[in-house]
């Protein structure tokens, strides 16, 4: 685990070594504000909660998480540093985990910086803090699931634009898998139970439950499982496409 | 003397291209091997197989007795590797970058500090230690790569074009360094500069289309050229062995 923490710290610091962190954080917070106050009608609703804020997280993540994920492995490939990493005495598992956790922690920082919104509702009224905590937890888990998918796809290519586009499409699929736009694609030729299984994979459904204040172990498990599966795929892809 | 580096029957294909086609390499400690060959001959691929970045389709690699496929972590610990193009993280300073590598190689405390001081000294990086790698000149970048390979004082060094992009003074320095280290370490370096082989290597291996076509001392390589070739004799041998047209035209049967 020591190697994981070494890789984690290097990777995490690299966000702040470049303008990436500043640009990302500003845009993230700016969009959060617009969504919450303009589109979400935060004041007009007259309710002391953060639903208008959390409701937009899936959409925000759809584009912002791939922006973080696309560089994870594609950049290592382009720089050639992937060769360096993989000839160090560390396991593939440590590499994948270290880099993923750093990116996730970075997203957690972005999420944590939205705390003034919480202070605002607490000042204006008497919000249900339990709901807000579970919503934050759900949002963080969802971000992690998006990120794991993006990390695996980023390992496929040295081109960050390709990684970004693939990642947005894949995240879109997972986000909307419970909706006709994705489901109709499978319905015609797939047995019903499989289509239902795909529908139950929807991020939205699992996130919605948590943002209502219900921490169902199944939802937590679902996001954790998505992360685990995609990080495993990530390692397989790296092994398979080392030379590319 | 036992071989510190032992690669036997290495094969690696990319699709239909046989990049490495049955390469055997046994190198004892204290030997500097110059790895020669035209571009695309399989030099870099062979090095990637030896360092464990790629897995061979067939064959085995043993570094100081540890098998690269069975015990990759142990085998990788014995190696210092400078990959082609000397890649490094551009947003880090040389100091940060080498500290990161030292940490991941389990060098801690005063040992790490000494290791860093030693390599900064060896490749003369002191002046740019706190400069971002992306702002360094090509020569300095290459030296950061060499420093990274030497950091943990490994018994086996694999250097892919260590002097590429350096000016004549820097080349001279790096060659001296390699000669010095070569007294006790096992070094395999690839290069396109044939005088370099004469200058630092005790043994030259020429590889062409994935196969070893020459393996011997630079003097033996020189002896392969006929007396009529007055200058650039190693060049002549290299070209003769690695171009088929020349083989049919110029080699007397």
pLDDT single digits (tens) B164-193: 888 888 889 889 999 999 998 999 999 988
Question: Which of the four pLDDT bands, split at 50, 70 and 90, describes residue A33?
Answer: confident
Residue A186, token pair as written in the block:
């499978």
- pLDDT of amino acid B251: 44
More confident residue, B253 or A155: A155
Distance from CA of B73 to the nearest CA of A (A): 5
Q: Is A137 on the interface with B (CB under 8 A)?
A: no
Q: Contacts by A221-227 with C-beta closer than 8 Å and gap 24+?
A: A223/A141, A223/A142, A223/A144, A223/A145, A224/A141, A226/A145, A226/A148, A226/A149, A226/A174, A227/A100, A227/A144, A227/A145, A227/A147, A227/A148
- pLDDT of amino acid A212: 81
Closest residue, chain B, to A87 (C-alpha): B53
Query: Which DSSP string do the residues of A201-213 spell out, in sequence order?
Result: T-HHHHHHHHHTT
Q: What is the mean pLDDT of chain A?
A: 88
- Do B107 and B21 lie in a common domain? no
Are the CB atoms for A27 and A109 separated by under 8 Å?
Answer: no
Of all residues in chain B, the percent with pLDDT exceeding 70 is 96
In the three-class reduction of DSSP (H, G, I as helix; E, B as strand; rest coil), residue A27 is classed as helix
ipTM (interface pTM): 0.87
- Do B133 and B211 lie in a common domain? no
Give the dihedral sign, CA A73/A75/A78/A79: negative
Are the CB atoms for B36 and B191 separated by under 8 Å?
Answer: yes
Residue B250 has pLDDT above 90, yes or no: no
- Residues A10-28 pLDDT 10s: 999 999 988 889 999 999 9
Q: Is A6 on the interface with B (CB under 8 A)?
A: yes
- pLDDT of amino acid B201: 93
- Do B196 and B253 lie in a common domain? yes
Size of the A and B interface in Cβ pairs below 8 Å? 64
Are the CB atoms for B246 and B240 separated by under 8 Å?
Answer: yes
- Do B190 and B119 lie in a common domain? no
Q: Select from B153, B183, B203 the last residue of a domain.
A: B153
Q: Which of A2, A10, A87 sits opposite B51 (nearest CB)?
A: A87
- pLDDT of amino acid B253: 39
Pairing of strands B17-28, B3-14: antiparallel
- Do B110 and B194 lie in a common domain? no
Are the CB atoms for B160 and B44 separated by under 8 Å?
Answer: yes
Q: Do A90 and B100 touch (CB under 8 A)?
A: no
The chain B residues in contact with chain A (CB within 8 A) are 14, 48, 51-54, 72-74, 76-77, 79, 81, 83-85, 87-92, 96, 100-101, 103-106, 148
- Do B64 and B98 lie in a common domain? no
Residue B195 has pLDDT above 90, yes or no: no
- Residues A58-87 pLDDT 10s: 889 999 999 999 999 999 999 999 999 999
Residue A92 has pLDDT above 70, yes or no: yes
Q: Select from B104, B124, B153 the last residue of a domain.
A: B153
Question: Which of the four pLDDT bands, split at 50, 70 and 90, describes residue A221?
Answer: very high
- Residues B80-92 pLDDT 10s: 999 998 999 999 9
In the three-class reduction of DSSP (H, G, I as helix; E, B as strand; rest coil), residue B111 is classed as helix
Name the residue with tokens 């892919």.
B160
Residue B249 has pLDDT above 70, yes or no: no
Q: Is A88 on the interface with B (CB under 8 A)?
A: yes
More confident residue, A118 or A234: A234
- Residues A107-149 pLDDT 10s: 999 999 998 888 888 888 888 888 888 899 999 999 999 999 9
Q: Residue A145, exposed/middle/buried by CB under 10 A (0-12, 13-18, 19+)? A: buried
- Residues B112-135 pLDDT 10s: 999 999 999 988 888 899 999 999
Average pLDDT on A40-65 reads 82
- pLDDT of amino acid B228: 85
- pLDDT of amino acid B233: 85
Provide the number of structural domains found in chain B.
2
- Residues A170-218 pLDDT 10s: 998 888 887 777 777 777 777 777 777 777 778 888 888 888 877 888 8
What's the length of chain A?
244
- Do B253 and B189 lie in a common domain? yes
- pLDDT of amino acid B26: 93
The whole-angstrom separation of Cα B37 and Cα B243 is 10
- pLDDT of amino acid B12: 93
Q: Do B89 and A87 touch (CB under 8 A)?
A: no
Residue B240 has pLDDT above 90, yes or no: no
- Do B14 and B139 lie in a common domain? no
CA angle B248, B251, B252 (to 5 degrees): 110
Are the CB atoms for B166 and B174 separated by under 8 Å?
Answer: yes
What is the 8-class DSSP label of residue B21? E
Residue A100 has pLDDT above 50, yes or no: yes
Residues of B in contact with A6 (CB under 8 A): 100, 103-104
CA angle B176, B63, A234 (to 5 degrees): 105
Average pLDDT on B210-225 reads 90
Provide the number of structural domains found in chain A.
1
Of all residues in chain B, the percent with pLDDT exceeding 90 is 64
**Alpha-carbon separation of residue B175 from B34, B180, B198 (angstroms):** 12, 9, 11
- Provide the domain limits for residue B140: 86-153
- Do B119 and B204 lie in a common domain? no
- Do B252 and B138 lie in a common domain? no
What is the 8-class DSSP label of residue B127? G
Q: Do B104 and A243 touch (CB under 8 A)?
A: no
Question: Which of the four pLDDT bands, split at 50, 70 and 90, describes residue A41?
Answer: confident
Q: Which helix (H) or strand (E) holds B236?
A: helix B233-242
- Provide the domain limits for residue A103: 2-240
Average pLDDT on B133-155 reads 92
Residue B136 has pLDDT above 60, yes or no: yes
Give the dihedral sign, CA A112/A115/A118/A119: positive
Q: Do B83 and A87 touch (CB under 8 A)?
A: yes
Q: Select from B116, B135, B153 the last residue of a domain.
A: B153
Q: Do B87 and A79 touch (CB under 8 A)?
A: yes
């Amino acid at each position: 685990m020591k190697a994981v923490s070494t890789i984690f710290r290097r990777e995490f610091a690299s966000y702040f070594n470049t303008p990436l962190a500043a640009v990302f954080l500003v845009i993230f917070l700016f969009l959060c504000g617009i969504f919450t106050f303009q589109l979400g009608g935060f004041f007009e609703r007259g309710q002391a909660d953060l639903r208008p804020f959390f409701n937009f997280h899936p959409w925000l993540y759809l584009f912002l998480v791939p922006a973080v994920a696309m560089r994870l492995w594609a950049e290592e490939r382009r720089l050639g540093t992937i060769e360096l990493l993989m000839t160090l005495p560390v396991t593939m598992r440590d590499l994948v985990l270290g880099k993923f956790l750093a990116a996730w922690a970075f997203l957690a920082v972005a999420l944590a910086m939205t705390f003034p919104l919480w202070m605002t509702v607490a000042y204006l009224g008497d919000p249900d803090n339990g709901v807000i905590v579970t919503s934050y937890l759900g949002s963080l888990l969802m971000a992690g699931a998006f990120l794991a998918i993006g990390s695996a796809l980023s390992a496929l290519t040295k081109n960050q634009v390709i990684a970004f586009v693939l990642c947005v499409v894949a995240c879109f699929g997972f986000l909307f898998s419970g909706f006709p736009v994705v489901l109709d694609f499978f319905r015609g030729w797939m047995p019903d139970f499989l289509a239902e299984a795909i529908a139950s994979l929807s991020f939205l459904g699992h996130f919605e439950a948590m943002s209502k204040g219900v921490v169902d172990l199944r939802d937590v498990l679902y996001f954790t499982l998505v992360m685990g599966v995609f990080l495993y795929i990530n390692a397989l892809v790296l092994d398979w496409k080392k030379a590319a | 003397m036992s071989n510190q580096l032992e690669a036997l029957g290495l094969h690696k294909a990319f699709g239909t291209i046989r990049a490495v086609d049955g390469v055997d390499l046994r190198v004892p400690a204290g030997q500097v091997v110059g790895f020669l060959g035209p571009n695309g001959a399989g030099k870099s691929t062979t090095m990637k197989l030896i360092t464990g970045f790629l897995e061979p389709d067939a064959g085995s690699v043993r570094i100081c007795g540890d098998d690269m496929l069975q015990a990759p972590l142990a085998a990788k610990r014995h190696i210092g590797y400078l990959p082609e193009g000397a890649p490094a993280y551009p947003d880090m300073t040389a100091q940060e970058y080498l500290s990161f590598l030292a940490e991941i190689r389990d060098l801690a405390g005063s040992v790490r500090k000494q290791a860093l001081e030693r390599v900064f000294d060896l490749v003369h990086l002191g002046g740019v230690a706190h400069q971002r790698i992306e702002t360094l000149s090509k020569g300095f970048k290459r030296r950061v790569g060499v420093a990274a390979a030497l950091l943990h004082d490994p018994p086996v060094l694999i250097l892919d074009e260590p002097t590429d992009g350096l000016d004549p003074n820097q080349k001279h320095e790096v060659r001296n360094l390699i000669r010095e280290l070569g007294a006790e370490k096992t070094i395999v370096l690839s290069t396109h500069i044939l005088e370099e082989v004469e200058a630092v290597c005790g043994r030259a291996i020429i590889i062409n289309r994935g196969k070893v076509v020459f393996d011997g001392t630079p003097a033996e390589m020189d002896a392969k050229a006929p007396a009529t070739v007055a200058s650039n004799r190693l060049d002549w041998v290299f070209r003769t062995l690695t171009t088929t047209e020349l083989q049919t035209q110029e080699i007397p049967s």
